[in-house]
């Protein structure tokens, strides 16, 4: 391990060479990462200083290394200690298993065996695969709560808390008809879009009504590796989604593929029923519609889809930022098909997942 102070304009930085990797730490960054009780509150881990007011010309005066502890003296007369392993720890990404129709085993759990370990396994599966199936949920009207009460509150929307999915005469959404539903993600017209869908079957139709699921991350990755130009169009073109009824107007300008600052795919959207492409330069529109058409072909391709026919007591949890879902049309002479659906916000489920991992 080699460590040195390097001059940089009016300030300097600490250069650390360790295991053939070079790290460069600015004095301000180091102060903000100090766990000293004058800098960060022990209980909340929140900053106690206004870091934006630190002197931009702050310098590192000297350092000392004792085993894995790095002690640094700064030009503002403060001194802070760091564990070197903490400073160089790589960013951890949650494990994502991408899948298509060749997925060997659907992640499946039995609610009758519910305990904290099963809850952890369920949430891990949703995080890793983007979905899972839970058998033997209560078939009562609000049976979803039997599980969600251990995770967090159902998201209230303009449709209420847990919503009915059944064939009704005055459908306010195409889900409320016997019509097939093409693969889509839910409600891209909301900002933020709801993170997770809990789709609970109280009774299915005898004929039809199977669910289709496609891994949007896998599809987006295929596009990225085969046609980067098309991928860039899908992530940069801001299309428009809208939902309107007499009491509600929900609107959102957003792209079909969302990436983070390291270009990792973090969200896919597809909901042609509620899309209204905004007016744009003809060339941009042509590029977008061509890319969307190819994206759609992959979304509906048999190779990318799995099918699940839910029976009474089955609940599918889906990551609405990743998995596209659809439904085949159904025939239900006695109109008995009855599903219930609830949403959970992304932060709520992710928080529960992280607290269970502690």
182 binds Fe ion (CB under 5 A): no
Minimal distance, residue 267 CB to Fe ion, in Å? 16
Minimal distance, residue 299 CB to Fe ion, in Å? 13
Question: CB-wise, 83 or 242, nearer to Fe ion?
Answer: 242
186 binds Fe ion (CB under 5 A): yes
Place of tokens 């990318």: 304
The torsion of the CA quartet 102, 107, 110, 111, rounded to 10 degrees, works out to -130
Question: CB-wise, 114 or 159, nearer to Fe ion?
Answer: 159
Question: CB-wise, 70 or 344, nearer to Fe ion?
Answer: 344
> Which of 24-32, 66-74, 183-191, 225-233 is the region at the interface with Fe ion (rule: CB under 5 A)?
183-191
In sequence order, what are the beta bridge partners of 306?
213
Place of tokens 């959404």: 173
Q: What is the largest CA-CA distance in the chain?
A: 81
Question: CB-wise, 245 or 263, nearer to Fe ion?
Answer: 245
Question: CB-wise, 99 or 270, nearer to Fe ion?
Answer: 270
Minimal distance, residue 35 CB to Fe ion, in Å? 45
> Which of 6-14, 163-171, 180-188, 315-323 is the region at the interface with Fe ion (rule: CB under 5 A)?
180-188
CA distance 177 to 172: 9
Closest CA to 216 of 272, 299, 146, 293: 299
Minimal distance, residue 224 CB to Fe ion, in Å? 25
Question: CB-wise, 186 or 275, nearer to Fe ion?
Answer: 186
What tokens appear for 157 in the block? 């929307």
> Which of 5-13, 49-57, 162-170, 181-189 is the region at the interface with Fe ion (rule: CB under 5 A)?
181-189
Residues that bind Fe ion (CB under 5 A): 186
């Amino acid at each position: 391990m080699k460590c040195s102070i390097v001059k940089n304009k009016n300030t300097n930085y600490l250069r650390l060479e360790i295991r053939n990797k070079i790290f460069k730490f600015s004095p301000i960054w180091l102060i903000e990462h100090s766990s000293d009780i004058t800098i960060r509150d022990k209980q909340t881990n929140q900053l106690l200083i206004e870091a934006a007011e630190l002197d931009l010309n702050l310098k590192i005066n000297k350092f000392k290394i004792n085993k894995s502890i790095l002690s640094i003296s700064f030009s503002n007369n403060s001194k802070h200690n760091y564990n070197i392993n903490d400073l160089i720890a790589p960013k951890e990404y949650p494990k994502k298993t991408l899948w298509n129709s060749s997925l060997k085993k659907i992640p499946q759990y039995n609610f009758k065996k519910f305990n904290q370990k099963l809850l952890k396994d369920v949430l891990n599966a949703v995080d890793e695969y983007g979905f899972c199936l839970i058998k033997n949920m209560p078939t009562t009207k609000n049976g979803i709560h039997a599980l969600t009460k251990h995770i967090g509150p159902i998201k209230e929307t303009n449709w209420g808390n847990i919503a009915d999915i059944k064939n009704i005469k005055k459908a306010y959404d195409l889900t409320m008809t016997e019509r097939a539903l093409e693969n889509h993600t839910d409600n891209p017209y909301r900002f933020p879009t709801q993170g997770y869908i809990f789709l609970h079957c109280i009774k299915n139709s005898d004929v039809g009504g199977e669910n289709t699921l496609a891994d949007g991350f896998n599809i987006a990755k295929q596009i990225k590796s085969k046609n980067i130009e098309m991928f860039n169009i899908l992530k940069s073109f801001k299309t428009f989604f809208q939902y309107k009824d007499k009491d509600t107007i929900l609107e959102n300008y957003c792209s079909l593929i969302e990436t983070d600052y390291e270009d990792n795919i973090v969200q896919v959207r597809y909901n042609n029923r509620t899309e209204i492409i905004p007016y744009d330069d003809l060339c941009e529109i042509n590029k977008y519609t061509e890319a969307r058409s190819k994206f759609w072909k992959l979304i509906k391709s048999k190779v990318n889809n799995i099918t699940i026919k839910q029976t009474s007591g089955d609940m599918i949890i889906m990551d609405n930022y990743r998995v596209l879902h659809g439904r085949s049309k159904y025939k239900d002479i006695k109109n008995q098909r009855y599903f219930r659906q609830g949403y959970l916000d992304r932060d709520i489920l992710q928080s529960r997942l992280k607290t269970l991992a502690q």
